[in-house]
Amino acid sequence: MYKFKPGLSSNFVQRYVQISERAFRYFKDKASSEKGKPLVAFRRKIIKRASEYSLNKNSYVKPGSRIAKSKLESQLFEHMFEIELNEDYED
Q: Which of 37, 38, 36, 35 is nearest to 1 (CA)?
A: 38
3-state secondary structure of 30: helix
The partner residues of 85 in beta bridges, in order of sequence, read 47
Residue 67, classified by CB atoms within 10 Å of its CB into exposed (0-12), middle (13-18) or buried (19+), is buried
Element at 61 (helix H, strand E): none
CATH architecture of 2-85: Roll (2.30)
Q: pLDDT for 23-55, tens place per residue?
A: 999 999 999 999 889 999 999 999 999 999 999
List of residues 6+ apart from 2 with CB closer than 8 A: 12, 13, 14, 15, 76
Question: pTM of the predicted model, to two decimals?
Answer: 0.77
List of residues 6+ apart from 54 with CB closer than 8 A: 80
Q: pLDDT for 75-90, tens place per residue?
A: 899 999 999 999 865 6
What are the sequence ranges of the domains in the chain? 2-85
